Structures are given as C-alpha cells and as structure tokens.
C-alpha cells in the first residue's frame, strides 16, 4: 500500500526542474540587472558558502553572546574585502550577507551605512579626511555606531533632547544627557563594539538653540575598549531577532569633544561661536535615503528566499490522493488553493526586485545631483523636486515592501505545515530578524503617511493644472483623461504600454479616493 | 524646553485609569463568564505570580535545555494542583498557564488533553481504570505523548503508515515503522520526557487492514527513563517557539505490546483475532474537538494580552506635538490612525472571548450528548448533526481566531515602535509561540476548507428547502427573505435583535457568494 521510497523527493524535484518553459539563466540575469552583476553575486555566494567563518548550520542553538562573537569574527573577515574591492562590489557582497546573517548585515550597515554615511553627508572635506585616517574603512581603530534615537524620542527626531553646548573658552562642545528620556536608546554597536558614535544633539551656542546636528563622540579607547570618562553604556539585551548586533543605551555626562568633531558641511560653528546655517535645510537629509533604498532590495531578496523554500517544499511534499488510482499522493503545489497562496507572492517578490533596481537608480541619480550642486545652481529647483520625490518614493516603498515581505515570510512558513515551525528550516529566524524592518529607519506607519501626503499634494497640484515633473507622479498629468480612461480591449493588457496606462488609471483613482477621504476627514 | 519628568508616564496612566465611563469590574465579570470564574482566575494568577517556580523575567536569556528543565519543575508544581482540585478548576488554571508559559501549557496539553484525551475517548471502562492506576493523573510513573503525525503524513491522517499487526499466537500487537516516511515526527514530549505514547497505527489482522486505530505503547522505563527495546527516539531540536516542550521523532522496530493496549471502546479485536467495528465511525472523533475549543479561548486570551501591552503603551507614549502650545507631546493613543490600528483589534479580541465561552458550551453539550448515547438511541441523528456542527464550527473558529490573533500580536508589536522589538516587552516570544496554532491540531487552511464545505452544503440544503437544525446555520432558513432583507433604520442597529438580523443577512450573502464561486470553479 505504501508508496514511500527514499528517493521520491529527489526524483520529484529533478522532474520539476527538467524542461523549464523559459531560459532560467536569462531570467536570473534579468532579476539581477545584468549578467556581470549576477556572476559577481554567484562568486560572492560561493566564497561565503566555503568559508568556515560563515558556517551557519549551528546558529539556531547559539546564545546571544555566542552569536555576537561570531558577528565579530565575520566582520574581521569582511574587513579584508572592504579594503581590497570596489565600493560597488562590496555593496553587492553586503546585499547577500543580509540573506546569510541579518545581524551581521546590520552591524556593518550601522558602521558603513549610518555612521560613515553621516560623516560622508555631513563632514567638510577636511573633516572627512580626518576621520578616514582614523581607520573607519578597515574598522581599524574606529568602529562606529549611530546615536539618533532616545528613550523618549524616535520618530520625532526634532524632539531629541541630548544637548551640545558650545564652550567658547575651551573651543569644545559639551555633550550631555539632560534627563532619563534623553538617554540614547537602541544604539546598534554601542553595547560592546563601537569606539565612536555619531550623536544627534541639540546645538546650543550662547544660550541659543539651533536644532539637531551631528557630533562624532568617542565612546571607548580603541585599544583597551574601556569606556571614556562621562560615558555610561548599558546593554539592551535580548531582541526579537538580530542578536548578532549589540544594541545599547548611552548616557553622556558633560562629555567634552573638540569643536571640529561637529560635522560642519551644512551648519558651521566658528571659533568665536558664530553659527552659519545652510541656505537650504532640506538638502541635508539626503543621507537617510540609502538605508531605505537598501531595505527595499532586502525585502525583495528575503521574500525570494522565503518563497524558494516554500515553493520547493510544495513541489516535493505530497499529501492526500486527489485520485484514488494515482500512484502517488498529490504534490501540494498542484492544489489550486496552494498555488493561490504562493504564486501571487512570487510575482510580488519578483516585482519588488525590479522595484529595488529602479529605486537604486533613482537614489544614485539624486545623490549625484545633490553632490554636484553649486551655490546659485540653475538646477537647484529640479534637484529639490527630485529629492522630494526620492524621499516619498523610498518612504512609501520601504513601508509597503517590508510589510508585504514580513507577511510573505509567515505565509511561506505556514505553507510548509509543521516543518515550517522548525528553526532549521529558516523561517523562524527570517521572520524575527526581518520584523524590525517595519519599525526602524522610519516607522512604516509614519513613512506611509509621508508618502500619502506627497501623493495627495501632487493630486491637488494636478487638479490645479500644475504639471507634475516627478517621473513617479507623471501619470497625474491630464488627470481628467486618465481618470476617465477605459481599457479598449483585452489585448491592450498584453502590451507594456497598455499595462502602463491601465496602472495610471488605477493609481489615479486610488490617489483621488485617498485625497477625497482625507478632505472629508479634515472637514469632519 | 524639555517637558520630560520621570513621573510623567505614571501620572498619565493614573489619569487614563481614573473615572472610567463604565464599571470595569462588571465588564471583567462579563468577559470571564461569571464572577466566580473571575475570582478563581484572579486567585490562580496571584498564586503563580508569587511562586518562584513560575518566575519568568529571565526566560528570554535561557537556552532551549534550560527552558525545558524549567518546564519540568513547573509540571512538578502543577501536579500538586491536579490531584487536589476539580477538573474544571484545573482547566481554568491551565488556561492562564498558557499566557504565562505556552511551552508548559503544551507539554501539559499533550499529556492531559491529547494523551489522556485519547484514552478517555477510546478506552473501555476497564482499560480506562487500568491506565488511571498507572498514575496518569498525577504524572507519576506515566507521562504521555501523542503519536499521530509522521514525517510524510500530517493532515492526511488516513495515510499514516505505522503498522500494528496482530500476532494471534502471543496475543500481542507488533508496532512497526515500515519506512523513513512513517517515522513519528514532531511528537511533543517524546524527545526526553514521555514514558508512554498513544500511537496511531494501521490495524492489520490476518493480513487485512482496518484503518488507523490507537495503541498505548510504552517508550521508556518510568524509573530509569531508558528507552525500551525497539524504540528509537531523536530530538527535533530548536523550534520557532515553545522550546519548553521536547518534540521528538520515534521509530518502532517490531515493538510488542499486549492486545489490551489497543484502545477498544469503538473497534475491538478479540483473542481469536475477530475484529468488531463500531456502527458509526464518525462518533469516534469527538476527542479531537477539545484542543480546538481550547485554542479559540487561547486566541482570545493571547490577543487580549498583546493588546493590553500595546494599548497601555499607547496611552503612556507621547510623540510629536499636535499643537505647538500644548504642554506635552501627544499621547499616541490620541492619534486617530493609532486608534484605527488598535481599537478594532480590541473589539475583535473581546468578541473572541465571548465566542470562546459559547464554543466551550457547545463542545460540552456535544460531549455529553455523545457520552449519553445508547445503542438504538432515538437521539442518534440529532447528536450526529450536533457533532457535525461542532466539528465545522470549531474548525472554522480555530482557523479564523488563531490567524487573527497572530496578526494582532504583530500589529501590537509594531504599535509599540522600537520597544516592541525588545524581547523583554513580550511580543517576540508571544508571536513565536503562538504561530504554531495556525498549523497544529488541524492546519488552518484545511480547517477553513472543512468549515467552508459545511457552510456550502448547508446553503445548498437551504435552497432545497431543507430546514437547518444546527443553531449555527439557522440564519439560512427562509433564505430568500434573509437575502432580500434590508436594514429598516439606523436605530435597528442599536438593538441586539437588529444586529442579529443584520449579521444573518451579511452571513447569508457571504455563504451565497462562496457557494456560487465554488460552483463556478467546479464548472471551469
Ligand atoms: C533593533 C533596533 C535597532 C535600532 N538601531 C538604532 C540605531 O542604531 N540608532 C538609532 O538611532 N536608532 C536605532 N533604532 C531606533 C529606531 O530607529 C526607532 O525605534 C524608530 O525610529 C521608531 O521610533 P520609536 O521606537 O521611538 O517609536 P515611536 O516614534 O515612539 O512610535 C511608536 C508608535 O507610535 C506611532 N506614532 C508615532 N508618532 C505618530 C504620529 N504622529 N501619528 C500616528 N502614529 C504615530 C508609530 O507608528 C509607532 O507605531 C533601532 C531600533 C530597533 C528596534
Ligand atoms: C511544534 C509542533 C508540535 C507538534 N506536536 C505534535 C504532537 O505532539 N503529536 C502529533 O501527532 N503531531 C504533532 N504536530 C504535528 C502537527 O499536528 C502537524 O504539523 C499538522 O497536522 C500539519 O501536518 P503537516 O505538518 O504534515 O502538514 P501537511 O499536511 O503536509 O500540510 C503542508 C501544507 O500543505 C497544505 N495542504 C495539505 N493538504 C492539502 C490539500 N488537500 N489541499 C490544499 N492544501 C493542502 C497545508 O495547508 C499546509 O500548508 C506538531 C507540530 C508542530 C509544529
């Protein structure tokens, strides 16, 4: 009666893989943007899979402290690559690292993305060289953390309360935590590994407040790792996931740093305590975009990873006979309901992949435009528009893609029945690690509201006949026609142009409805 | 500028709690069914909160093995209560234990709910006494596990392949695992702690198969805990959650048990190998309902726990000033969008609580009717109808409530921003522990399909003019009128009767649509 054979799973998989109706290699190339990028990623994957430092099969049974130690061993190994390969190559390597070890990715993201990113976007050329020479690239003598969030303030960055008083007598800033709520909280790397922190604090000069600026504050002696005077640090301990990164809290008690440790590309404080503010405040926020852009790519990659497991399992798993005379039970992938559970998610993950490539392109274009700006530049207005668009697009996509991927992970888990619940099959950690993407670098609800605000105001502009310059909202031009458009024929939806026009109408109606609902709320 | 005071949180909470617009105690009594039940639960909570064995604040940093040890210490403590208090009291205590330690709850649920439940529903009175005397109630000398699922078969219980051959010569059954796929898998308690297993195996007598029956198979010597001959057991290891229970796999190699170890209330095998099958197979499945019923209550309780944390936090957390002149930042609970995120979930959790009380009542009624049945009983048909209704209602509710609660937990976490991600705030483990509820004791998709099948066939019956006897589908009687009914006035929805009729129409339309879609699928 039994039809069990020990080889059945392997035979089934081989059969599923045989004779695909399309060229798999060609599709992979498309997914990764180009053949050279795909080949690079394959090379990086091979290197990681053979390197004992990246051995991960035992990770499920390690304690938080063991996982943290492993993170540091891996960082030591990656420091080798960062000094020997191009930034672009290293970024691709990092993108894969997130699939392998999200805690490690975060620890490096905090250092290279947030800490170094803060320096890159906020330092003068001289300051930049100064910190480079301290060893920030090779993580030698300088390993950074990013000190924005406080116990009482996360989303409301303007409300941060850590103070940076300028002491004109000694030409120093005094960094201070005025109350418990102002304790820096969640700071990744602070608990054990960071030597320096980019601290967001209220600049106060001669009693006047100038808002939140960034200061590089040494935390530990880079040799002994002893805390420096005035620095109190604690460990935030066990988290839902990403235990590989040592999140901590920091209190500063009258910590003195040289004036030059304030990043002064935008706002400057002179030796006499004169404060020069930048002409355009909004140009200073470009640096926050990189994290969100990376997270959209990470959402796509993680969704694909989860679905690779669940779709493969669905092909191999058999449960119930649909036909009593069949030799084997039915592969669960052949049940229409199972296809409905997984296939739309596959399509979505693929779409996220292309979205990520496109957002990366937009981000790079915007960054270059920002860096090329000169005083009195004729491109100023266009660049500001571009920045606004990149802001709201990355905000909306970060929220949408991370929410959807978190759901994809759990649906994939459930599609694997009981086996999805074993840690060794990957979903447990994947979910726990990924979940924080909905919260950090802009809480998803807040980001969704920002994207919504941008769309509603674009819609109002469109109604007022103002032309949309942002590529992302161009579909709102000729709004009356777009709203009234009907699909001419089923065939129209077989062309890219037809799909494009279809989406324009769908999106315009969605924005119109949101806009009208919003107006109604305001009136109520 | 700062408005931080160390007492602000406590003051805010005190203010929120002052002057509630309704009698909180009265509401609690309603939620728990009666004042005496509420008082009992408060007593149990107090006992657990003061008992060092139930100290849980350090749980987040323990290893899997430490957590398992703690489970056993707690079981030792609970064994004291189980022998000294009524079944009903102990069940209430257990309901609370799930909020405190879901792994512990599971270990006890496997023993008392599944293992003992299998004996209770499947044993003859003599067999029942026999196992009682072995110490099953006090977990003395007998600690059970439930061996249904195999590596290759979970949902398809009829496809299980473990065999139980009757050996007429020795008057024994031979329990055997014929192939790798037939390895019992996921069995909670098997890895380390169980002495006996209720094994589901194919009964084979004189070469003829009689389907899946239940056999009590000793696994370990109750003193030395050494595995008995022919028993191979392995540990399933790290899971997404509930590491307090030791899930294992079991292979049987020609394990011999006395004939009397087969549970023979329904099917009997005589000394000569004659097999007597029960007149009504469906009456044997009543035992599976208890777990689902308990899980609906657990979903309600867990959702309330998650929401207690997130709503309290929303009252105390302030972020951004809605009005520049306000003394403090706005409590996030005062943002309409935050209310929309949490309040519908609160309403749902409360509704789940009442649903659970009602399902418990239905379950008890059905169990009593089943136990009271005599051969040739005039109540037979009505009881079978009741059983069918209880089956499909508990299946649908288990799926719906566990899915919704899993979502409630993660939404609650996200509503707490970064702090939701700290393990110490409870959501991480709550989510990981709860997630398995969507999979075990009937995979939710399969259960939803079963509930759907029941509803669609009830709808067909209603169309055919056949009267609905089940209370749960009575709204389908007079189907034409119910479908055509319109709400007379807004006031009608302020009365219970009006709401009831409103739901009847909504539900009837939903079932109609499902039914028509299903028919369309069949034709396509
Ligand atoms: C694992 C982890 C690592 C982190 N690492 C770092 C780090 O290295 N450096 C760093 O600086 N920070 C770090 N953070 C902090 C993170 O950036 C913040 O948690 C995040 O910005 C959200 O802020 P919050 O936690 O204060 O939430 P809050 O801003 O308090 O929000 C709480 C809830 O209220 C809602 N809400 C808030 N305001 C409004 C409003 N106006 N209208 C409606 N709803 C509102 C939000 O949607 C959210 O659900 C980390 C966080 C975590 C969890
Ligand atoms: C932590 C844990 C503890 C457990 N403890 C025990 C225990 O103590 N004793 C015990 O006996 N068992 C136990 N189980 C097993 C549990 O009962 C099974 O995992 C569950 O019944 C699902 O079976 P499965 O895992 O084989 O999934 P499968 O039945 O293989 O289902 C896999 C997937 O396919 C889908 N699917 C299956 N059939 C169909 C179909 N016909 N149409 C459409 N979709 C379909 C399902 O929806 C599911 O998503 C435990 C499981 C876990 C995770």
Q: Give the residue on A whose Cα is nearest the Cα of B436.
A: A421
C-alpha of residue A129 to centroid of ligand 2, in Å: 59
Interface of A with B in 160-179 (CB under 8 A): 161, 178-179
Cα–Cα distance, A409 to A403 (Å, whole number): 10
C-alpha of residue B418 to centroid of ligand 1, in Å: 5
Q: Residue B282 above 80 pLDDT?
A: no
Number of other residues whose CB lies within 10 A of the CB of residue B229 = 9
Active site residue B35: no
**pLDDT tens column, B76-99:** 999 889 989 998 999 999 999 999
Ligand with minimal distance to A110 CA: 1
Residues of B in contact with A237 (CB under 8 A): 60-61, 422-424
**pLDDT tens column, B396-406:** 999 999 999 99
pLDDT at residue A455, as a whole number: 95
Those residues whose C-beta lies under 8 Å from the C-beta of residue A402, and which sit 6 or more positions away, are A295, A299, A434, A437, A438, A444
Q: Say if the Cβ atoms of B423 and A238 lie within 8 Å.
A: yes
Cα–Cα distance, B384 to B388 (Å, whole number): 6
Q: Residue A336 above 90 pLDDT?
A: yes
Distance of CA A81 to the CA centre of its chain: 22
**pLDDT tens column, A487-519:** 888 898 899 999 999 999 999 999 999 999 999
Q: Give the residue on A whose Cα is nearest the Cα of B159.
A: A320
Does B149 reach chain A within 8 Å, measured CB to CB?
yes
pLDDT at residue A287, as a whole number: 64
Name which of B1, B418, B422 is nearest A440 (Cβ-Cβ).
B418
Cα–Cα distance, A459 to A514 (Å, whole number): 10
Distance from the B326 Cα atom to the nearest Cα atom in chain A, whole angstroms: 14
Does A422 reach chain B within 8 Å, measured CB to CB?
yes
Q: Give the residue on A whose Cα is nearest the Cα of B62.
A: A63
Those residues whose C-beta lies under 8 Å from the C-beta of residue A31, and which sit 6 or more positions away, are A38, A350, A353, A354
Give me the phi and psi of B5, to 5 degrees please: -135, 145
More confident residue, A335 or B282: A335
Pairing of strands A247-252, B184-188: unpaired
Domain locations in chain B as residue ranges: 1-25+284-442, 26-122, 145-283, 467-524
Q: Say if the Cβ atoms of B418 and A6 lie within 8 Å.
A: no
**pLDDT tens column, B409-468:** 999 999 999 999 999 999 999 999 999 999 999 999 999 999 999 999 999 999 999 988
Give me the phi and psi of B292, to 5 degrees please: -65, -40
Q: Residue A339 above 70 pLDDT?
A: yes
Does B241 reach chain A within 8 Å, measured CB to CB?
yes
Q: Are A250 and A219 in contact (CB under 8 A)?
A: yes
Name which of B178, B319, B432 is nearest A2 (Cβ-Cβ).
B178
Does A208 reach chain B within 8 Å, measured CB to CB?
no
What's the mean pLDDT in A386-411?
96
Residues of A in contact with B410 (CB under 8 A): 406, 435
Q: Whose CA is nearest to atom 26 of ligand 2?
A: B154
State the CATH architecture for B1-25+284-442: Up-down Bundle (1.20)
pLDDT at residue B366, as a whole number: 92
The angle at the Cα of A34, spanning A29 to A39, to the nearest 5 degrees, equals 75
N residues, chain B = 524
Q: Give the residue on B whose Cα is nearest the Cα of A236.
A: B422
Q: Say if the Cβ atoms of A4 and B182 lie within 8 Å.
A: yes
Q: Say if the Cβ atoms of A178 and B2 lie within 8 Å.
A: yes
**pLDDT tens column, B241-266:** 999 999 999 999 999 999 999 999 99
Number of other residues whose CB lies within 10 A of the CB of residue B257 = 18
Cα–Cα distance, B455 to A168 (Å, whole number): 79
Cα–Cα distance, B181 to B150 (Å, whole number): 7
Q: Say if the Cβ atoms of B329 and A159 lie within 8 Å.
A: yes
Q: Are A444 and A407 in contact (CB under 8 A)?
A: no
C-alpha of residue A178 to centroid of ligand 1, in Å: 21
CA torsion through residues A440, A444, A449, A452, sign: positive
Q: Residue B3 above 80 pLDDT?
A: no
Q: Say if the Cβ atoms of A4 and B179 lie within 8 Å.
A: yes
The token pair at A165 is: 């008083």
A193 DSSP 8-state letter: T
Q: Are A176 and A217 in contact (CB under 8 A)?
A: no
Q: Say if the Cβ atoms of A417 and B427 lie within 8 Å.
A: no
Does A358 reach chain B within 8 Å, measured CB to CB?
no
Name which of A4, A413, A444 is nearest B181 (Cβ-Cβ).
A4
pLDDT at residue A283, as a whole number: 67
Does B68 reach chain A within 8 Å, measured CB to CB?
no
Q: Which of B316, B317, B318, B319 to probe ligand 1 with, by most ligand atoms within 8 A of CB?
A: B319
Of the pLDDT bands very low, low, confident and very high (cuts 50, 70, 90), residue B100 is very high
Distance from the B61 Cα atom to the nearest Cα atom in chain A, whole angstroms: 7
- Closest alpha carbon to A232 in A171, A173, A162: A162
C-alpha of residue B319 to centroid of ligand 2, in Å: 44
Cα–Cα distance, A4 to B186 (Å, whole number): 19
Cα–Cα distance, A92 to B339 (Å, whole number): 41
> Collapsing DSSP states into helix, strand and coil, what is residue B248?
strand
CATH fold of the domain at B145-283 = Butyryl-CoA Dehydrogenase, subunit A; domain 2 (2.40.110)
Assign residue A466 a region (left: φ > 0; alpha: ψ between -120 and 50; beta: otherwise). Answer: beta
Helix spans in B277-335 (H): 289-316
Strand (E) positions, B310-417? Answer: none
Of the pLDDT bands very low, low, confident and very high (cuts 50, 70, 90), residue A284 is low
What's the mean pLDDT in A379-389?
89
What's the mean pLDDT in B183-197?
98
Does B237 reach chain A within 8 Å, measured CB to CB?
yes
C-alpha of residue A319 to centroid of ligand 2, in Å: 10
Does A58 reach chain B within 8 Å, measured CB to CB?
no
Q: Residue A45 above 70 pLDDT?
A: yes
Q: Say if the Cβ atoms of A4 and B161 lie within 8 Å.
A: yes
Ligand 1, residues at Cβ distance < 6 Å: A 110, 146-149, 154-155, 186-188, 239, 242, 247, 436, 439-440, 443, 445-446; B 317, 319-320, 332, 335, 337-338, 414-415, 417-419, 421
Q: Which long-range contacts (CB under 8 A, 24 or more apart) does A170-173 make?
A: A170/A256, A171/A258, A171/A259, A171/A271, A172/A256, A172/A257, A172/A258, A172/A259, A173/A215, A173/A256, A173/A257, A173/A258, A173/A259, A173/A261, A173/A262
> Collapsing DSSP states into helix, strand and coil, what is residue A150?
strand
A413 lines ligand 2 (CB under 6 A): no
Of the pLDDT bands very low, low, confident and very high (cuts 50, 70, 90), residue A282 is low
What's the mean pLDDT in B362-387?
87
Bridge-partner residues for B201, per DSSP?
B213
C-alpha of residue B356 to centroid of ligand 2, in Å: 24
Cα–Cα distance, B45 to B38 (Å, whole number): 10
Q: Which of A201, A446, A449, A452 to probe ligand 1 with, by most ligand atoms within 8 A of CB?
A: A446
Distance from the A69 Cα atom to the nearest Cα atom in chain B, whole angstroms: 16
Mean pLDDT of chain B: 94
Helix spans in A101-238 (H): 102-108, 116-122, 125-133
pLDDT at residue B284, as a whole number: 65
**Cα separations in angstroms, A480 against A349, A455, A459, A483, A509:** 33, 16, 11, 5, 11
Ligand with minimal distance to B443 CA: 2
B406 DSSP 8-state letter: H
Distance from the A239 Cα atom to the nearest Cα atom in chain B, whole angstroms: 4
C-alpha of residue A234 to centroid of ligand 1, in Å: 19
Ligand 1 atom, smallest distance to A446 CA: 47
Does A36 reach chain B within 8 Å, measured CB to CB?
no
Cα–Cα distance, A112 to A119 (Å, whole number): 10
Name which of B6, B240, B439 is nearest A180 (Cβ-Cβ).
B6
pLDDT at residue A380, as a whole number: 87
The token pair at A108 is: 């490096």
Mean pLDDT of chain A: 94
Q: Residue B390 above 80 pLDDT?
A: yes
Pairing of strands A196-205, A144-147: parallel
Selected catalytic residue, list B95, B150, B161, B441 = B441
Q: Whose CA is nearest to atom 38 of ligand 2?
A: A319
A316 lines ligand 2 (CB under 6 A): no
Note the CATH number of domain B26-122: 1.10.540.10
Task: Enumerate helices (H) and strands (E) in chain A, giving the number of each.
Answer: 15, 11
The token pair at B520 is: 């369309």
Of the pLDDT bands very low, low, confident and very high (cuts 50, 70, 90), residue B287 is low
Residues of B in contact with A249 (CB under 8 A): none
B329 DSSP 8-state letter: P
Q: Whose CA is nearest to atom 29 of ligand 2?
A: B155
């Amino acid at each position: 009666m039994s039809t069990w054979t020990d080889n059945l799973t392997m035979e089934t998989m081989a059969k599923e893989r045989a004779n695909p109706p399309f060229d798999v290699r060609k599709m992979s190339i498309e997914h990764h943007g180009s053949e050279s990028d795909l080949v690079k990623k394959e090379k990086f994957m091979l290197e990681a899979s053979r390197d004992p430092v990246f051995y991960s099969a035992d990770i499920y049974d390690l304690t938080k402290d063991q996982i943290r130690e492993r993170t540091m061993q891996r960082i030591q190994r990656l420091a080798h690559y960062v000094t020997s390969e191009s930034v672009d190559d290293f970024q691709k390597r990092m993108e894969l690292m997130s699939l392998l070890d999200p805690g490690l990715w975060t620890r490096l993201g905090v250092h290279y993305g947030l800490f170094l990113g803060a320096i890159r976007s906020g330092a003068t050329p001289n300051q930049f060289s100064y910190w480079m020479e301290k060893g920030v690239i090779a993580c030698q003598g300088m390993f950074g953390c990013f000190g924005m969030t406080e116990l009482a303030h996360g989303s409301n960055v303007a409300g941060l309360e850590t103070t940076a008083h300028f002491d004109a007598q000694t030409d120093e800033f005094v960094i201070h935590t005025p109350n418990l709520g102002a304790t820096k909280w969640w700071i990744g790397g602070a608990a054990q590994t960071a030597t320096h922190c980019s601290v967001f604090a209220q600049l106060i000069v001669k009693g006047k407040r100038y808002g939140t600026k960034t200061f590089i504050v040494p935390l530990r002696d880079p040799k002994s790792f002893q805390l420096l005077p005035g620095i109190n640090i604690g460990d935030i301990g066990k988290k839902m996931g990403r235990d590989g990164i040592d999140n901590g809290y920091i209190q500063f008690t009258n910590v003195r740093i040289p004036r030059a440790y304030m990043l002064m590309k935008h706002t400057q404080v002179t030796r006499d305590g004169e404060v020069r503010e930048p002409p355009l405040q909004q140009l200073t926020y470009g640096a926050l975009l990189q994290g969100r852009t990376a997270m959209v790519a990470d959402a796509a990659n993680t969704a694909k990873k989860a679905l690779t497991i669940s779709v493969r399992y669905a092909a191999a798993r058999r449960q119930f006979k649909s036909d009593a005379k069949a030799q084997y039970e039915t592969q669960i992938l052949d049940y229409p309901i199972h296809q409905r559970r997984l296939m739309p998610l596959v399509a979505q993950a693929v779409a996220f992949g292309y979205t990520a490539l496109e957002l990366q392109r937009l981000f790079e274009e915007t960054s270059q435009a920002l860096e090329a700006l000169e005083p009195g530049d004729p491109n100023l207005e266009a660049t500001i528009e571009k920045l606004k668009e990149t802001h709201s697009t990355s905000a909306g996509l970060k929220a949408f893609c991370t929410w959807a991927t978190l759901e994809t992970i759990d649906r994939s888990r459930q599609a694997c029945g009981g086996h999805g619940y074993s840690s060794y099959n990957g979903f447990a950690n994947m979910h726990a690690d990924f979940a924080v993407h909905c919260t950090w670098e802009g809480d998803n609800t807040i980001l969704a509201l920002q994207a919504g605000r941008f769309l509603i105001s674009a819609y109002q502009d469109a109604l007022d006949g103002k032309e949309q310059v942002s590529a992302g909202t161009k579909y709102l031009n000729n709004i009356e026609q777009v709203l009234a458009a009907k699909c001419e024929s089923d065939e129209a939806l077989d062309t890219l142009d037809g799909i494009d026009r279809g989406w324009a109408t769908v999106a315009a109606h969605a924005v119109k409805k949101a806009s009208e609902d919003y107006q109604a709320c305001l009136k109520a």
